[in-house]
Structures are given as structure tokens and as C-alpha cells.
Chain A
């Protein structure tokens, strides 16, 4: 075989791999779309599930998921962003710095079910929050923390040193420099990371399974200490625990489609922000 035709053969193979990946994406989304589009209407979004999750809508699980995201945001955004500020702007280079780097990298690799165990041990029993919205929200908050830290750190590092020098040379303190310059310019990058991590939190099932999600509840949670329904667990529960049949399948595909729309929508927003930001600050 000549060099040229060998190259053609390999390239065809690689193209095939690319096509396969696209096909996987298209197939999965298509099945959810075809299976679920018939379920989705305004009632589906605004009515609670009925008849042990085989009929009705997804209002309760949807609200539960939104509440969860709220708790995650309230905890993980300030802690994550400020940690990143400390690591980039205040932490001196050296052994401690590489220690932090390793800690954050390792946190990102811990399986979500292990975070669930942490949540169970720490929030549910040790701190006594019980199986609750708060325990699950904090568990997910801890889970996305490394994602937010990594994104924020990258965004802060991308702000060129010359900007910091300009500010310091005018007599600004370090904190003023961070607050008035570094953080605002890094904000789009931070925002991208925050949105991605919230979408990750919205889709996680295993951690909330251990820390407070309910199979069925008659209403939305009354306080952060009550149990809750959540969209991803609702999908799992309906898919595996109800008698499968047409109505059940429509419910489950509809719920999956709603979750996909939520998560993919957030991902697209993040991509758009990132693109805009690259155009805005070309250092």
C-alpha cells in the first residue's frame, strides 16, 4: 500500500470514530426527544406527579431540583470563587501551592457516590440536618466546589499581570486590586464555570439518593430541613420502580427531556458567555 493510500485509510478510520461519537449523541437525544416530546406541555411542568408517578406532571421534582441548585449556588459560589482568589492572588509559590493544587485536582476525581457518603456521614448524621434539602444541597455544593475553583482559578490567572501592576502602582491595595480589577475582568470566565457546575449539580443523582431525595412527596419542600423530590432521581425512580407501560414510559421520557433541556440549556449559555468573553478581553 502506498503512503498516500495508507494515509487515506487511517483518516477514514478516524472520521468513522468522529461519526460514531456524533451518532451516539444524536441517538440518545433523539430517543429522549421522540419519547418525551409528547409529554411536555404546560400542565406537565406545573402539575405534581399523580398515581405513584405514573401520571400528572413534574412540578414537584422540578421545583426540588431548582431549590437544590439554589443551595448549591449559595454555598459553592462564594466559597469556590474566594478560594480561587486566595490560591491565585495570595498563596505564595512553593510547597503549599502545589499541595493545594493536588488537593483540588483530587477532589475533582472523587466519585459522586463517595460525596454521597460524606453527605450522609457529615450533614445528615454528624451535623444533624437529617435526610433533607439542606444536606443534599450542601453535599452537591461540596461536589461542585473543585469545578468552580478550577474554573475561577483559570479565569483569574488569565487576567494579565500588567493590569495588577497598573492598579498597585496607583497606590491600590492588593484587595482593592482584586475587587476592582481582577474579579470583574475574570467574571465571565467564573460565570461560565459556575453555570457548568450548577448544571452538573442539577443532573447528579447518586449523592442525593443517600442524603434526602424522596420517591414521592405530595408537595414542594416546606423548609430546607424537609425531604424533597428531584428531577434526576424522579427519572430513575419512575424508570425502575413503576410498572412499565405506555404511560410510565411517556412520564419518564418527558422527565428526562425536561432535565436534558435544563442541563443542555445551561451548557449552551456557558458556551455563549465564554465565546463573548474571549472577544471582549483580548489581552
Chain B
């Protein structure tokens, strides 16, 4: 069989686009893809838009200062409903700090072990195991804290109830570690070999090489990993909801019950009437939460970018 493909086009005007040819079809996928991308990107704007739109009534009727700095959150009081977010901010802050105090040292230690010390075979098993830990649903962590961890805490510290901020802090720490380890391990792995070898060649031990060369070089990557894992703690709902007895106290006592911003939204949204001040106030809590995470994300992004600029 003799096919001469060149005959298919030779008779036509060379290189000219044929009428209705592919060139127009080429614009179509481009436009469609752009529209789809705009849809997905606009979700961020929609999140912001709906949060602000719905929280305006609360800010307006209660007042920005009263909402952000008010020391009492008591939205269902019959005498005088109070919408001061400070207790909620303190609650989120407290459990996140407790979690960070535990998770940062353990996470960094685990990262160094994984990146530099572990036998390759151990590593090959451990890394996916830690990724699995990151994949476990938060409700399962919450269940563990609710049924088991609080019992242990109550026993150890002689508490009448284990549903305290520390209980939430510990379970959040368990949830933070996998994110931190996975991200900061990447940062350590991308420190160029030559740097380590230079240190080894000068007679440094493994630990000295790590401490004085590898860790400083990976520092901004590790810092970004820490920030992103703290974000996980700040934004977590179910685990703290189940681990901590939700009481909106303005306290930094790890053995007290507290109420986080996330849990407030989750518990109270079901009981509010649409369009009420309470409904709007919960959106306002979401708005503040959203702004906090945006700020943290931006910081992590800036730190990370500095890191990738240094080693490319």
C-alpha cells in the first residue's frame, strides 16, 4: 500500500491555515481551561466574600472593638448576650501553644532521625508510615482523645475530668508532627551534598556537620514546615471539639476547659437562626480565623521562597 501523506497538503496553499482548521480549535481548550481555572481560583475570593458578607451585620451591631477585645463569649444569655472573641482566641492560642511545645521538639528530632540517622530500610518504612499518620481523619484522633487520652491525663494529674486544654494540646501535637516531619525532611534532603561533604572533609562528626551545616542551611524550610503545622492546629475542629470540654473561659491554664474558635462555629452554628446576630457572629469568628491562617500562610510562603532561592 502506498500512501503519500505529502499529497494531502501539497495541493493546498502552503502553511496557510485551512478555513475552520485546528487553529480555531486550539483557542477553544485554552478558553475553557481559563474559565475552569478562574472558577477554582475564585473559591478563595468566594470564601473571603461570604465570610465578610455574612459577618458584617455582627460587626455592625456589636462593634469591631467589642467583638475582638470583649472578654466574654455568651451568645445565648437571656440577660445580655455577649460576643467577645477574646476567650475564643485565647482558647485557640492555648491549645495551639501546648501542641507546638510538644510537637516542635519531637517533630524536629524525628525529622533529623529520619533524614540523617535512620537506616535506609527503616526510613523506607517510616516515611510512608508518617504520611499515613497525616492521613488519619481528625475525628479518629478526637475519638482517641475523648475515650482514652483524657482518662490517662486525669489519672496522671489527678484531675476530676481529663477534658482539659492539655488533652487537646497533646492530640493536636500528634496531628502536627506528620506535617512537620514530611515538609522539613524535604528541606533537609534538598541541602546540597557538597555542603555536607565539605564539613566531613574538615573532620566534623555527623552531628557537628548536621548542627553547623545541614540544619542552618535547611532552617527556613524547617521554619516554614513548623508554621504550616501550627496552622493545622489552629484550624483543627473535630479533635479539639472532642478532646476539650468547651467552655469559653479567658484563661491560659492547661488544666482548664477552653473553647476554640473552630469548635465554637461547629457547636453553635446548628442552634442559631439564619440571619440572627449569633449566626453572623459565628461568621465573624470564621473571618478572624481565615485572616489568621492567611497571615501564617503568607509568612510560611515568604520563608519558603527565601529557602528555595538559596538552594537552586
A259→B40 CA distance, assembly (Å): 29
Q: Mark A1-43, 1 if CB is under 8 A from B, else 0.
A: 0011011001101111110111011001001100000000000
A203 pairs with B289, CB closer than 8 A? no
Interface set, chain B 258-312, CB cutoff 8 A to A:
262, 265-266, 269-270, 274, 282-283, 286, 289-290, 293-294, 296-298, 300-301
Please tell me if A120 contacts chain B, counting CB pairs below 8 Å: yes
Known pairs A17-B110, A21-B133, A111-B289; A239 contacts B147 (CB<8 A): yes
Please tell me if B34 contacts chain A, counting CB pairs below 8 Å: yes
The interface residues of chain B lying within 8 Å CB-to-CB of A239 are 142-143, 146-147, 242
A15 pairs with B117, CB closer than 8 A? yes
Please tell me if A206 contacts chain B, counting CB pairs below 8 Å: yes
Q: In whole Å, how far is A189's beta carbon from the nearest beta carbon of chain B? A: 15
Q: Mark A169-198, 1 if CB is under 8 A from B, else 0.
A: 000011100100000000000000000100
Chain B residues with a Cβ closer than 8 Å to the other chain, count: 88
Q: Which residue of B lies closest to A24 (CB)?
A: B174
The interface residues of chain B lying within 8 Å CB-to-CB of A22 are 126, 129
Known pairs A17-B110, A17-B113; A205 contacts B137 (CB<8 A): yes
The interface residues of chain B lying within 8 Å CB-to-CB of A11 are 113, 117, 206-207
Known pairs A82-B36, A149-B40, A173-B25; A199 contacts B106 (CB<8 A): no
The interface residues of chain B lying within 8 Å CB-to-CB of A111 are 234-237, 262, 289-290, 293
The interface residues of chain A lying within 8 Å CB-to-CB of B8 are none
B30 pairs with A90, CB closer than 8 A? yes
Partner of A142, one of B43, B130, B234: B43
Interface set, chain A 219-278, CB cutoff 8 A to B:
232-233, 235-236, 239-240, 249, 252-253, 256, 259-260, 263-264, 267-268, 271
Please tell me if B112 contacts chain A, counting CB pairs below 8 Å: yes
A21 pairs with B132, CB closer than 8 A? no
B34 pairs with A175, CB closer than 8 A? no
Q: In whole Å, how far is B132's beta carbon from the nearest beta carbon of chain A? A: 6
Q: In whole Å, how far is A170's beta carbon from the nearest beta carbon of chain B? A: 12
Partner of A79, one of B40, B114, B132: B40
A85 pairs with B132, CB closer than 8 A? no
A239→B150 CA distance, assembly (Å): 14
**One of A49-57, A99-107, A159-167 contacting the partner:** A99-107
Interface residues of B (CB under 8 A from A): 22-23, 25-26, 29-30, 32-34, 36-37, 39-41, 43-44, 46-47, 50-51, 53-54, 105-110, 112-114, 117-118, 126, 128-133, 135-144, 146-148, 174, 177-178, 181, 205-208, 228, 231, 234-238, 241-242, 262, 265-266, 269-270, 274, 282-283, 286, 289-290, 293-294, 296-298, 300-301
A217→B135 CA distance, assembly (Å): 28
The interface residues of chain A lying within 8 Å CB-to-CB of B29 are 175, 178
B137 pairs with A175, CB closer than 8 A? no
7 pairs from A and B in contact (CB 8 Å cutoff) = A17-B113, A25-B129, A25-B132, A100-B37, A142-B43, A204-B138, A206-B237
Q: In whole Å, how far is B249's beta carbon from the nearest beta carbon of chain A? A: 20
Partner of A106, one of B236, B262, B266, B297: B297
A109 pairs with B146, CB closer than 8 A? no
Q: Which residue of B lies closest to A271 (CB)?
A: B128
Known pairs A118-B46, A206-B262; A252 contacts B294 (CB<8 A): no
B136 pairs with A117, CB closer than 8 A? no
The interface residues of chain A lying within 8 Å CB-to-CB of B132 are 25, 264, 267-268
* The 7 residue pairs across chains A and B that have the minimum distance between CB atoms: A203-B137, A111-B235, A17-B109, A121-B50, A86-B33, A206-B237, A7-B207
Please tell me if A129 contacts chain B, counting CB pairs below 8 Å: no
A15 pairs with B113, CB closer than 8 A? yes
